[in-house]
Amino acid sequence: MAQTNKNKIINDPVHGFINISHPLSFDIIEHPYFQRLRHIRQLGLTYLVYPGANHTRFQHALGAMHLMNLAIDTLRSKGHEITEAEAEAASAAILLHDIGHGPFSHSLEFSLAQRVGHEAISKCFMHELNKQFGNRLNLAIAIFEGSYEKKFLHQLISGQLDMDRMDYLRRDSFFSGVTEGAIGSERIIKMLNVVNGDLVVEAKGIYSVEKFIIARRLMYWQVYLHKTVIAAEKLLTQLLLRARDLTQQGEEVWATPSLYFFLRKSIVKKDFEQSSDGKPSEALLNFANLDDNDIITAAKLWVNHSDPVLSLLARMITSRKLFRVKLQNKPFAEQEVETRKQDLYSLYPTLRGMGKYFVLTDSVSNNAYRSTEESIKILYNNGILFDITEASDMLNTKILSKDVRKYFLCYPKEIEK
């Protein structure tokens, strides 16, 4: 009876109806750690450029679970055994794969939790949930961590053609309105197969894979690494850094208790781990309370702070006066950075010495296909496997496996000459 109630259908604009088929999935979704993802935008500040991109990590996790169930059905129909326990665990693992993301994580990871990646935090959450759920997540964690014998289950969660990517590329394309980034997730999933324990794509799917790679690349340059998105993320990073610096210098900076926890001290990975008494760490509990609302509310309040750096950065982000961004293929000369800072000081003498918050340079990179990572294997009728870079005569294999790195310089628009 309880089980019946756990059978639920959710409307999803991308995939239509999503069934929650496993009671374990239902229990995960109901948990506050997961519900919290309702308030964390999948694409952070991207909505400042693409106003439709307000979709959340909650929706994405459900969508990826839906595709996982499709993939499992497909592989079973091709004769590969996947037990109910494995199916349930794979669903749970994909639901939880991004649970460790904080709000605006591109900014957060570079400021408040700069040395801790979201994968590590995801694992902390999983182990904590596993305890609460009486070890029902054992198999899910084994699959997630890659220690389970059926490798392909792990590859469905984390690999070149995992259900994470299958969902987020379509979803981000859908909500941003960059329709060209849409990929044929359903079609690629129908062409998946397993050979020697590895996930492969049948040969007739080669053009779909080519298109997937090109669409991913398009989404990178057009959305994920969009100049103005970078400008917004860097601005938020600087704002949070300044708030942390002030807090640690003893200045009073308003923040919700959970945000304050991260401003007040420098958190490292170890802080997230369970304490010896088996209780969740203070860092994890505070992280579990943090979402987009804490950050935006704080930014709005900081507009009136007495510190000129904090208030100016806060005003810039809340009124959408973002940094100007210059992009180029080689690092910016130190001299150029210095000149910009001087320009800033000429304009705002009170900011003298604070240039590092307003003028900064860094780089972003995107390689559409990482050959050092696990590769996409194409299965030919005769049973032979080729890597996609060999199988496709089209894709430039050298480029594919090479980082494309772009350097950027951010500074306030007012000092544009």
- Residues in touch with a second copy (CB under 8 A): 9-14, 16-17, 32, 35, 38-39, 47-48, 50-52, 54-56, 58-59, 62, 174-180, 183-184, 186-187, 190, 207-208, 210-211, 214-215, 217-218, 221-222, 256-257, 289, 291-294, 296-297, 300-301, 318-320, 368, 393-396, 399-400, 404
- Residue whose CB is less far from a second copy, 68 or 344: 68
Supply the minimum distance, in Å, between the C-beta of residue 151 and a second copy. Answer: 27
**Shortest CB 258 distance to a second copy, Å:** 8
Q: Are strands 198-202 and 377-379 parallel, antiparallel or unpaired?
A: parallel
Least distance CB 412 / a second copy (angstroms): 17
For residue 411, list its beta bridge partners.
324
At 14, list the tokens: 């991308």
* Measured distance CA(127)–CA(121) in Å, rounded: 10
Nearer to a second copy, 52 or 353 (CB): 52
Smaller CB separation from a second copy, 73 or 145: 73
∠ CA 71-165-17 to the nearest 5 degrees?
55
Please tell me the total number of residues recorded for the chain in this structure. 417
Q: Token pair for residue 113? A: 């939790």
What is the chain's alpha carbon radius of gyration, rounded to the nearest angstrom?
A: 23
361 or 392: whose CB is closer to a second copy?
Answer: 392
Of 169 and 344, CB closest to a second copy: 169
Separation between Cα atoms, residue 8 and residue 415, nearest integer Å: 55
Rounded-to-integer distance, Cα 352 and Cα 114, Å: 26
Smallest distance, a second copy to C-beta of residue 158, A: 24
**Residue 94 contacts residue 28 (beta carbons within 8 Å):** no
Q: For residue 10, what are the β-bridge partners?
A: 18
The nearest distance, CB 229 to a second copy, in angstroms, is 13
Nearer to a second copy, 46 or 155 (CB): 46
192 φ, ψ (degrees, to nearest 5): -75, 150
Nearer to a second copy, 307 or 360 (CB): 307
Name the minimum Å distance from CB 147 to a second copy: 32
Minimum CB distance to a second copy, residue 362 (Å): 21
- CB contact burial 103-121 (16+ within 10 A = b; e otherwise): bbbbbbbbbbbbebebeeb
